[in-house]
Structures are given as structure tokens and as C-alpha cells.
Structure 1
């Protein structure tokens, strides 16, 4: 019996961020008799373990190496040792900044299939002399060593590869039926969250990091409460800035209206409670959480920094970050609420995406 091809995913961490969630969705749906996934993370994030048990049960492994931001030589030694000790048929790098180094090390190890995958429009690391020089080096390494270029949206592809490099669009697939057929009612989910049945509910799913722009999100919600006092905000996720955001919520006396719900395993139910999904991100590729919200028929209000390809439903609005929080609030509160999917939503069925990845891995 032929052994499945082993695919090593360069992730950095395996939390519940968008890229990790996407790859776990793919892992669940791909033909595991033909493909097995392993994941490379940084030792800094070994305690981030929401998927560890499932990965091992599915037949995968997690390998930890030093964080290249803190110890680049230790990282290179760790990756080289791993690629020498273990057998991998394919590497799939989903690290936006520095992915070219991963591909170089894989090529030196004799791995013929070396995939780079863009999940964002920018790395968000600024434009000083050091960063610009590092980008040029990693970009050259990527172009010299990648065999396949993938992206979750047109903007994400151009953001990493530029205008002239062809790439394959791979939708951030989800299990659509989970979001279409939630057995609980909106009223029961609100009750479980201790939210009044007649309240207006705004929701966001995302890491508490600068990219997600929670500071501006709280400014927007403050305006929502001024216009509609019986409003609640549900924030799902964790991250390094969560304490700062909690302080801001208290400083604006919004603590009775904002729920910090942490990491959740019941996202379809949480979306059921929302009237509006709000995402004022500074940059995004194509966020899975926004696709999930549309599959759940929730109205979307996004920043114009989110890829326009994110829209796969009718009641989706893109607003400039230069607009005032008051303007954002007015659009959020405006009828109609609810949403209706467009035909394009069907391409985000993870079963289709998994088949596409199988074809890419074997091409």
C-alpha cells in the first residue's frame, strides 16, 4: 500500500487565526489516505494548542523550532535538522514575511514541491530601511525557490507576489452547512450570553493585534450605543492587546455592553446572535470569519482595506477608515439587517477547496 504524501506546513503557530483555521478545515476534508499534514511552529507558541489533539488524531505531527525573529541562526539549524531527520514530500509555506527562507531550506533538502501561499495583503511591519532590505532578500529567495504560488484573493496575491507573478486563487473554504443549519435560535443564543432578546448585537472575530484595529472598533461601537443604547458587542479571540482594549472599554464606560468571549468552538452559534459583523481591519487578505458570517446570513460592515472579493452576499458594506466612527455606526444600524448569499459563496465550500489542493499537490 502506498504511503500518503507528507506535507509540511510552515505556520509559526497553530492557534485559531485565519490561516490556521483554513488549513485545519482543509486537513479535515482532504483525502488523508493520499495526503498527511504536519505543522512547523515556533517554540514561543508551543502552549497555543487548540488543534494539537485533533492534529495527532488525524495522523499529523507538530514540530517546534526557534522563532526566527529572536534567533534566526537557531531557526535555520532547527529547520535543516527537521528536514534531514524527517521525510516530507511537499512544503507549504504560509508565512507572509520571510517565507522565501523556508523554500530555500526545503530546496537544499531536496524537496521538489515548494508552495508559497499568501493569506494577507501586507506584512504590516512598516517601511524602514532594515525591513525594506529584508523584504527584498526574502522576495528574491521566494522567486528563486518556489514552485507554486497560491493566494486567498487577488489583493493577497498581488500584495506578496506583485503584479507580474501568476498565482492560483485558492478560496478560504469552510463547511457551509455548519453555518446554514444552526439548530439553536437567535433568542436562545442571546439568552445563553445574557444578552436581552431585543438588543442590537455587533460582533467581531479576530486576534487582538494591531492589524484587527480593535481600538477603532471600540470607537465605532461607542457611537452605536449613543444612537441605540440597547446594543451589545461580542468580541471573540485572544491576543497581546486584549488588556489595552479592555482598558479602553472601561474608559468609555462600555463594560456592561461589551462581552470578551475568548476562543470559542461554537462560532456558528455566536454568529447566530449577531445583527452585524464588524471588521475595521487595517489590512486583510480574505478573512475566513467574514465568509463564515455571510454563510450565516449576517450583515457585514468591513473596512475598504479588506479584499473586495470577500463579498459573497448582498448586504455587505465597505467603508473607508477615514470615515468617522459616527458614519460607521449609522451604516451598521441602517435597515435591512440579515443577509442573502450570492452564487459566489458556493466556491467557499471546503470540499471543493480540498479537491483543489489535492490537484495542486499532485500536479
Structure 2
């Protein structure tokens, strides 16, 4: 039997987060006798998914972090890497910063270089000027433009290039998220949430962009009104301790459940009454797709892509709206209950993983077939 085609996925780290989970959703569905995924990460720790990747037959490599002061050593590493590992197809998921590994891939003759946009904004941190310059460079070094949505594609590649962008949905196993009344009862019992309590859910990394402080303020507003509400938070991250401190200062520790990173999110979301997503910006959120597959009402900030909101029970609200308006909306949405036929709506929109994985596998195989057989030329 011939060896499978190997595609190189370039990421930061394969921790349990949105784009990483999206990649794994596709990877699990591929016929791995035909296609394998290997990963070039930019962190020196083992990611949450590393063990599963290895069990599926994938290989994991670690590149230096993309710091400006390390550019020369990064360049040397990438030249050596592409000389030693001949990948005809590389697929980079680090948004504007994809310009750096893809520039080296181009220099080393890699025929198919995919840049994938997963967001509609750029973190305004110390590397912002570099990211802005990298976004301009990206159009020169990538030769395939992919995005999770049209708006994410327009952001990274420009409105004028939208016709060249392929939208690859953040597809999920929709059936895994079908509402289960038995699971709802057991999870709420495990979490100490009574049937009469209003459970507000959120799934996401504790980072600035996810805006957990807004969730804490929202819960405090509901509690001040006498609403018996509970906040359930799935995820981990650099700001978790800060959010826990805020919860203590507000005095609502008994009403918040910090669950950490979970591998049973499809089960956990059954316990929610409404999902609230007050992100400062967002592309197509996997957590929002999963929640809607469960039929959950959703309240998101207007900074979240409207392309994420597919059900009539999924609404957006300006972040600048008074917190009282957010509380009113949560109470109203929680009373609507779960929407019937949610899975059919999401499937029709292209979010069913089996069909989406078949299409993506076909694209990978076609790119591979059209690429140079040796995957590049020596960069030494």
C-alpha cells in the first residue's frame, strides 16, 4: 500500500481552542490511509491535542517562537526544516503572521502555500506594526487564500481579493451536540445547579479577546435583580486567575463554576440555558456553532461575525449597551428554550463535518497532485 499524502499544518500550539479543535474535527474524519496531517508548532510545550495527533499517525515539529529579535534564527530554522522535510502543501493558520513561514516556504520552492484567516481583527499588542506589515506581505507569499468566513477573508486578504478566497467552514460533528435531556439533568446535578436556576454558559480561552469580565459583570447584574443565575465557564488561559479574582471581589464565588479545559463539551452544553459570547472580536466561533447545534439561544456581541449566528434564537448586541440591556436579553432568550430543527439549519449551511471533511480532503489531494513531486528544493 502506498504512503498517505502528508500535509503540513502550521499553528501556534495544538491546545484545545477554536481553530485547533476545527483542525482536529477534520483530521478525525479523513481517511488517514490517504491523507495524514503533520504539525509545525511555535511553542515548546506539548499541546492538549498532541497525544491524539500522534495516535492518529501525525508528526509534530517545534519551531522557535516568532519574535522579531529571533528572526534570523527563525529564518535559519525554517530553511533547514523545509530542506529536510519536503512538503508539497503547507497550510498556515497563524493569520497575518503566516507571512513569515510562508515566505520561507516560497523561497524553498514549496508549490502550494495556503494562508488561512480565522479572525476579523488583529490583537493590538506590541507586535501590531509587524502584523500589519505581515498582512501586506501575505498576499505575495501565499498562493491559496482560505478563510472561515467571507468577512474573515476580506479582513486578512482585502475586499478586492475576496473572489480568490475559499471559505472552509468551521465544521463540527453536529449530532454530537444534539440536545440530551438526560445529560442536562446529570451535568446540572454534578455542577450543583438546580432545575430552577438560570445557567449562563461560555466556552473559550481566558484571554483578553473573550472578554470574561463582561460575563462577570452580567452575572452580578442578574444577581442584584434577584435572578438566581449561575455562570459556567469552560476553558483555561492566561487570564483565568484574574477572572477568579474579579469573581471574589464582586462576591459571587458561589454562582460561578470554573470547569477548566474539558473533553466533554458536547455533554456540558446541555446544562446551559443560554450561551453568552461578549468577545471583543471574533471570526466564526466554533463554540457558537456547537451551541447552536444544541439548539441553545445565543447572545453575542456585535463584534462577533454575524455569519456565526445561524438560528433565529441567536442574537447580537453592542458591547457598549448598558449591562441592564444584556441582562434583559439573557432573561428573554432563556425563556425561549431550545430551537427545534437546529441541526438541519447548520447542516444546510455547510457545518456538518463529514461532508465538509470529504470536500477538504478532495482539495488537499488535488493540490498535492498538482504540486512538485519533491515538495521543494534545498534551501541550504
Q: Deviations along 1:230-262, whole A, 9 cap, x unmatched?
A: 211001111111111111001110100001100
1:259 to 249, 257, 260: 257
Distance in 2 of aligned mates of 1:295 and 1:270: 13
Distance in 1 of aligned mates of 2:124 and 2:82: 29
SS at match of 1:71: helix
What's the TM-score once normalised by structure 1's chain length? 0.94
Distance in 1 of aligned mates of 2:235 and 2:277: 13
Distance in 1 of aligned mates of 2:160 and 2:343: 30
Give the count of matched residue pairs: 358
Distance in 2 of aligned mates of 1:24 and 1:185: 24
Distance in 2 of aligned mates of 1:75 and 1:293: 39
Distance in 2 of aligned mates of 1:114 and 1:339: 41
2:63 to 65, 74, 90: 65
**1:77, distance to aligned residue in structure 2 (A):** 2.2
SS at match of 2:160: coil
CA RMSD after TM alignment:
1.7
Q: Deviations along 1:86-108, whole A, 9 cap, x unmatched?
A: 23221000001311111111122
Q: Deviations along 1:82-136, whole A, 9 cap, x unmatched?
A: 222223221000001311111111122221111011110012225x8x733x245
Contact residue 216 and residue 247 of structure 2 kept, 8 A? yes
Structure 1 181/315 Cα, relative in aligned 2: closer, same or farther at 3 Å? Answer: closer
**1:305, distance to aligned residue in structure 2 (A):** 0.7
- The corresponding residue for 2:79 is 80
**1:138, distance to aligned residue in structure 2 (A):** 1.6
Structure 1 181/279 Cα, relative in aligned 2: closer, same or farther at 3 Å? Answer: closer
- The corresponding residue for 1:18 is 18
**1:183, distance to aligned residue in structure 2 (A):** 7.3
Aligned pairs for 1:1-363 within 5 A? 1-44=1-44, 46-47=45-46, 49-69=47-67, 71-125=70-124, 131-132=128-129, 134-165=130-161, 166-180=164-178, 182=180, 184-334=182-332, 335-340=335-340, 341=342, 343-346=344-347, 347-361=350-364, 362-363=366-367
Contact residue 98 and residue 135 of structure 1 kept, 8 A? yes
SS at match of 1:116: strand
**1:220, distance to aligned residue in structure 2 (A):** 1.3
Distance in 2 of aligned mates of 1:8 and 1:227: 52
SS at match of 2:206: coil
**1:359, distance to aligned residue in structure 2 (A):** 2.7
Distance in 1 of aligned mates of 2:360 and 2:226: 45
Distance in 1 of aligned mates of 2:71 and 2:322: 42
Can you give the 5+ residue segments of structure 2 that lack an aligned partner in the other structure? 368-380
What's the TM-score once normalised by structure 2's chain length? 0.90
Q: Highest relative contact order (Cα 8 Å, sep 6+), 1 or 2?
A: 2
**1:308, distance to aligned residue in structure 2 (A):** 0.7
Contact residue 312 and residue 343 of structure 1 kept, 8 A? no
Contact residue 187 and residue 267 of structure 2 kept, 8 A? yes
**1:203, distance to aligned residue in structure 2 (A):** 0.5
Structure 1 183/221 Cα, relative in aligned 2: closer, same or farther at 3 Å? Answer: closer
Structure 1 258/136 Cα, relative in aligned 2: closer, same or farther at 3 Å? Answer: closer
| Stretch deviating more after TM superposition (349-358 or 174-183) | 174-183
Q: Deviations along 1:44-80, whole A, 9 cap, x unmatched?
A: 4x14x32111101111011111111262333222222
| Stretch deviating more after TM superposition (192-201 or 204-213) | 192-201
**1:351, distance to aligned residue in structure 2 (A):** 1.1
**Would you identify which runs of 4 or more consecutive aligned residues in structure 1 move more than 6 Å?**
none
Can you give the 5+ residue segments of structure 1 that lack an aligned partner in the other structure? none
